Structure 1
Amino acid sequence: MSLTMAHGDLRAAGERYLERIGQADEFGAVDMVLGLLEDGVSAENLLLGLIAPAQRRVGELWAANRWSVAREHGATAVSERAVAAIAARARPEPVLGRITVACTDGEYHALPTRLLAEVLRLRGWQVDFLGASVPGPHLITHLHQTGPDAVALGCALATRLPRAHATLTACQAVGVPVLAGGAGFGEDGRFAGLLGADGWAPTADVAADRLAGGGLPPFPAAPGTLAHLSDEEYTHLTRRRGDLLGAAMTALARAYPPMASYTVPQLDSTAEDLGYILDFLAAALYVDDAELFTAFIAWSTGVLLARGVPAGALKAGLRVFHGELRDFPRARHLLVLAMEAANAADAELEI
């Protein structure tokens, strides 16, 4: 099967693969990818043209409440097994340098970073894949022990950006450049540049191309410090997270009467959702980017509506935080913008 044919065939195969992983059919999924490999589809094409798109579809199905968390987790576990099967079958000898690939501390969405690791191996790199949520100090110890040419750092959620910043700064301090990747750094990589990464790549194949080019294309010079952090809103918000969450739950119960009939699981879910709002607000404060927060709120509006939670509940939560954060002008401004984004998303979804 030629690579030209494989692109068209893989689109059709993608539905069959999605069906298998959706049923947690590990043997069926593995047999399928190995069969395609034997038919001549390249390992890299299977990783990026079959498995990666299927996983994006899994996320969409979860967001739309068509798949449960359990089904999404099962599908992801099967895809991890399929990636491992492809990697075990395709074992090129390393002819280039050594790359350490890791998820930033607190980041547990490891599959995209694992795909990058396998693509780099296929391209001839010796790869140390360290997996999910690698604490910064332990990563630095690994760098001292192995001396890689670069670190590829994955970050899927923007809430992990402060830890990613600390990690990439520590890597550079010991002389190892960092290539950033993952949705957490922004679709255009703007947060990677802001935080001082040596380079950014939107996809695994682009990352491999850039590393093979003899170096990381530098970003324009990033500011030496994030000057906006001098107001300490980010620091105080993160330190007070627990207290703010408790106060918000109490205030929300008064401001949103339907909460009076919530079950314990519903109350737990509400607290979890409020926690996500605080975490994304903190991340937006850290990088001083309103769109990071408003985009999350617009997305959350759709996710909650798909689960039968009216947009009014989310808006009430935003108003509660606005009232609680009286001494946080930047945070209050972001919350006002977020309420506007929630209104716009609600109106669009009702059309």
Structure 2
Amino acid sequence: MTATTTEADPAHAYPGYLEFLADADEYGAVEVALGLLESGVPAERVLLELVAPAQAEVGERWARNEWSVAQEHAATHISERVVAAVAAYVNPRPVRGRIVVACMDGEWHALPPRLVAEVLRLRGWQVTFLGASVPAAHLVSYLHRYDAEAVALACALPMRLPYAHRMIEACRRADVPVLVGGRGFGDDGRWAARLGVPWAPDAPSAADLVADERALRRVTPPRLDHLADDEYASLTKRRGELIDSALADLRERVPSVNDYTVAQLDSTISDLGYIVDFLAAALYVDDATLFTDFVGWLVSILTSRGVPAGAVGLTLDHYAQVLRDFPRAAAFLAESRELVSASAAR
């Protein structure tokens, strides 16, 4: 495909832009974005009304098994190139202090926080974007070396919440205010509130929050008294044991697992680990919906790839049996098992 002139509206340009992503046509996608800028559309609108929704659709197409991982990666790379082209075209000069933007350790979804970083830059801040999976120690070391008005931390996966809390506390010990964003904190920011940290649902909200020093420095204590029962700590210590026992159980109850290819086996082990990690995160914030929402998502992903919902149910049953002395974990597993049973019955 080749780029065509687009109307000066991201909504009108969106279908063609998405087609360029589907065709892995980097040059066409960049031309669409630059054409909007040349037509007078503000850069912030191009980022938030063109790039962001298109990238969300990329993720949905992967989830529906319409696109392969390779197609999703190619489209994401093009989106990153488009963001870079928009930033280079506008090239604003900072008139405000430094904001550091980073992903949590182990968090690789870097495009959403990159969009936040660029919106902050467009609004006059000097922004340092540290990218994906930044270890807490390295982030704190950077903050000690460079003065920062605030740190914006992104988390896309709720299973990273325990690590997020440690990074938040580490930044605060360095006397730097923190704000967070991303689906990992809940669509309504409920888990950010549980951790006692300001949350922004989108890039404009993050920019408004950063500009409000009083709100940014308002710290509420985390509500984590439930961790005194030690379920979270005990579960994380047993992570490897749980995965191994769940795999052994599957091999026994589903003989076809023994004929899996290396890739299929690796994927299965990863899924078993994700179930443990999301359960641990749910225990950390004491919210069953964190785990049940994940299980519902996992079932939809696996069924779109031909794996029956009952396969997830078998693993939930196994974990429930092994963790029968963990009251909160057992309750979360029971809720999720009901959800899977309902899905399997459809």
Contact 2:231 2:283 survives alignment (8 Å): yes
* 1:54-95 deviation per Cα after TM superposition (whole angstroms, max 9, x unaligned): 011011101100001110011001100110111111111211
- Find 1:238's aligned residue among 236, 239, 253: 236
* 1:224-267 deviation per Cα after TM superposition (whole angstroms, max 9, x unaligned): x6111122221122122111111111112223344344333322
Q: Which amino acid aligns with 2:188?
A: D
TM-aligned CA deviation for residue 96 of structure 1: 1.7
Q: Distance in 2 between matches of 1:281 and 1:261?
A: 28
Partner of 1:192: 192
Unaligned 5+ residue runs, structure 1? none
Partner of 1:46: 46
TM-aligned CA deviation for residue 275 of structure 1: 1.2
* 1:309-339 deviation per Cα after TM superposition (whole angstroms, max 9, x unaligned): 0111111111111112233222111111111
Partner of 2:86: 86
Partner of 1:284: 282
Contact 1:100 1:127 survives alignment (8 Å): yes
1:249 aligns with 2:247: yes
Partner of 2:202: 203
Q: Distance in 2 between matches of 1:297 and 1:76?
A: 25
Paired residue total:
340
Unaligned 5+ residue runs, structure 2? 1-6
* 1:28-58 deviation per Cα after TM superposition (whole angstroms, max 9, x unaligned): 1112211111111111001100000001101
Q: Distance in 2 between matches of 1:248 and 1:46?
A: 47
Contact 2:94 2:121 survives alignment (8 Å): yes
Q: Distance in 2 between matches of 1:284 and 1:154?
A: 18
* 1:167-203 deviation per Cα after TM superposition (whole angstroms, max 9, x unaligned): 1111111211101100001111111111121x11100
TM-aligned CA deviation for residue 211 of structure 1: 1.8
Q: Which amino acid aligns with 2:337?
A: M
Q: Which amino acid aligns with 2:103?
A: C
TM-aligned CA deviation for residue 343 of structure 1: 2.6
Moved over 4 A (4+): 217-220
Q: Distance in 1 between matches of 2:216 and 2:175?
A: 16
Q: Secondary structure at the match of 1:216?
A: helix
- Find 2:310's aligned residue among 298, 312, 315: 312
Q: Secondary structure at the match of 1:187?
A: coil
TM-aligned CA deviation for residue 218 of structure 1: 6.7
Q: Distance in 2 between matches of 1:130 and 1:242?
A: 31
TM-score, normalization by structure 2: 0.94
Contact 2:159 2:184 survives alignment (8 Å): yes
TM-score, normalization by structure 1: 0.92
Range with greater deviation from structure 2 (233-242 or 206-215): 206-215
Q: Which amino acid aligns with 1:327?
A: D
Range with greater deviation from structure 2 (260-269 or 90-99): 260-269
Q: Which amino acid aligns with 1:162?
A: P
Partner of 2:3: none
Q: Which amino acid aligns with 2:310?
A: G
Q: Secondary structure at the match of 2:187?
A: coil
Q: Secondary structure at the match of 2:128?
A: strand
5 Å matches for 1:323-334?
323-334=321-332
Q: Secondary structure at the match of 1:127?
A: strand
Q: Which amino acid aligns with 2:336?
A: A
Pair 1:346–1:90, CA change in 2 (3 A)? farther
5 Å matches for 1:1-351?
6=8, 9-197=9-197, 199-216=198-215, 221-223=220-222, 226-347=224-345, 350=346
Q: Distance in 1 between matches of 2:310 and 2:218?
A: 41
Q: Distance in 2 between matches of 1:177 and 1:214?
A: 9
TM-aligned CA deviation for residue 140 of structure 1: 0.8
